[in-house]
Structure 1
């Protein structure tokens, strides 16, 4: 299998795992097994659990940023600030609803994230909303 495909399989397995359980309960062995990869390969691609988690969060934040931008771009040019804020909030709430309980868990981990990258992702998500 192509390394990029394997990396995507690992990220997909990690996204599902982190969405269904708290960070502390997710093991790299389990993620690797679901992705039909070795734990060593997960470490090679992501430098461990914190790096994998940060990449999962980064992708979610990037998607939220893009959705928010698209929703804002779809508004008429003369839309009020109130309409723009409402659209951003509704986009964010839809995003959360699609990802519960994982995104809720992510928010609950505020201040307890493993690594600086997760804090940067949190700031990006906040700025997007």
Structure 2
């Protein structure tokens, strides 16, 4: 009877097992290079059978891509339940929440940034494109500009470009120590506001002048 109960619990917990494997992979990939980490290492670290890794993720590369995706795609929680207040306060809160995520996952964030810099890789590039689009959605939501129609594509392009600056600035904070978390919060919040309030209207005006 106990054996049956245990089997039932295992059947009901696939998400938990998948999460354990993903957490183990994050830890190992943050300590060593991709080539130095084996599927057997991940199985041992997670306490899961090697076959379960293939079942949930396919192979080591797909698991690695999921680790990068999980870190680079900004979680929806960053923009959840924002107060109906000023755009500046909403953006500042989003930036603060995002910095919390990065600070808690410092090694994995740097791992993900390193993956982006490793050279051409269509799978990594696809993950980064997904992350950029998610970030654009988040900024527009925080700025209460999700319904912008005129110039929408230009605006999203600018926000994606802002995302590249965000990644570079995070390296200054986490690796070089040239910026504090407070410095980064000001830089990211004020840069986003400047982009939305000054740069975007200027670009729209320039487009109108060229017609």
TM-score normalised by length of structure 2: 0.48
Partner residue of 1:43 out of 54, 76, 84:
54
Shift of 1:57: 3.2
Matches within 5 A, 1:100-111: 100-111=106-117
Shift of 1:110: 0.7
Whether the 8 Å contact between 2:78 and 2:98 is mirrored in structure 1 is yes
Distance 1:84 1:24, change over 3 A: farther
Whether the 8 Å contact between 1:19 and 1:100 is mirrored in structure 2 is no
Distance in 2, matches of 1:40 and 1:78, equals: 50
Partner residue of 1:67 out of 69, 77, 80:
77
| Structure 2 residue runs without a partner (length 5+) | 1-9, 139-211
TM-score normalised by length of structure 1: 0.71
Distance in 1, matches of 2:42 and 2:102, equals: 23
Instruction: Show the counterpart of 1:54.
Output: 65
Which structure 1 residue ranges, 4+ long, deviate > 4 Å from structure 2?
Answer: none
Shift of 1:104: 1.2
Distance in 1, matches of 2:77 and 2:32, equals: 25
Q: Secondary structure at the match of 1:109?
A: helix
Distance 1:103 1:39, change over 3 A: same
Q: Which one has a bigger Cα radius of gyration? A: 2
Answering whether residue 98 of structure 2 is matched by residue 92 of structure 1, we say yes
Q: Secondary structure at the match of 2:101?
A: helix
Whether the 8 Å contact between 1:20 and 1:102 is mirrored in structure 2 is no
The alignment covers a number of residue pairs equal to: 123
Distance in 2, matches of 1:44 and 1:104, equals: 28
| Structure 1 residue runs without a partner (length 5+) | none
Instruction: Show the counterpart of 1:125.
Output: 131
User: Relative CO higher for 1 or 2, CA cutoff 8 Å, sep ≥ 6?
Assistant: 1
Instruction: Show the counterpart of 1:33.
Output: 44
Answering whether residue 86 of structure 2 is matched by residue 79 of structure 1, we say yes
* Aligned residues: CA RMSD: 2.8
